[in-house]
């Protein structure tokens, strides 16, 4: 997926990352806190995610605030990586974050261009779905 962040001046940045998990807590990704994205998330703890499956013409967009996971979760994520991957980073630098979504869009493309977008926004303890045809 593409993870998009902004720096302290509001200038956007984007890069590919592995989506680690999606659950009620949010959409998880991991990297080093010392990276550019780590600095950007300290300056502005919000992000957008973009995923695209070309064969089925589906895209997902997520945006929301970003929260750092508990230290034990970051350690567990690092330990799940290969020894070679673990050797490249210092354990206290490896960090798991979650995007806590305030908007999720599912986009289904159609060969006849009658594309469909379903946009979810929080409503109380649930989600409101709005269907938009393009």
Q: Which position has the token pair 């020894």?
A: 83
Nearer to ligand FMN (CB atom), residue 42 or residue 71? 42
Q: Which of 8, 12, 15, 127 binds ligand FMN (CB under 6 A)?
A: 15
- Report in angstroms how near the CB of residue 29 gets to ligand FMN at its nearest: 6
Tell me if residue 19 falls in helix, strand or coil. coil
| Sign of the torsion angle spanned by Cα atoms 24, 29, 34, 36 | negative
Distance between CA 8 and CA 89 in Å, rounded?
25
Nearer to ligand FMN (CB atom), residue 37 or residue 61? 37
Rule CB under 6 A: which residues touch ligand FMN? 13, 15-18, 30-31, 35-37
């Amino acid at each position: 997926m593409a993870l998009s962040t902004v720096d302290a001046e509001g200038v956007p940045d984007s890069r590919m990352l592995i989506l680690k998990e999606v659950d009620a807590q949010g959409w998880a990704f991991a990297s080093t806190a010392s990276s550019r994205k780590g600095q950007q998330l300290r300056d502005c703890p919000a992000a957008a995610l973009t995923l695209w499956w070309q064969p089925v013409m589906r895209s997902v967009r997520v945006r929301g605030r970003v929260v750092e996971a508990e230290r034990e979760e970051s350690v567990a994520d690092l330990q799940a990586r290969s020894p070679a991957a673990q050797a490249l980073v210092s354990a206290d630098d490896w960090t798991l974050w979650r995007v806590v979504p305030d908007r999720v869009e599912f986009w289904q493309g159609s060969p006849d261009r009658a594309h469909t977008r379903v946009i979810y926004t929080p409503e109380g303890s649930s989600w409101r779905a709005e269907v938009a045809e393009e």
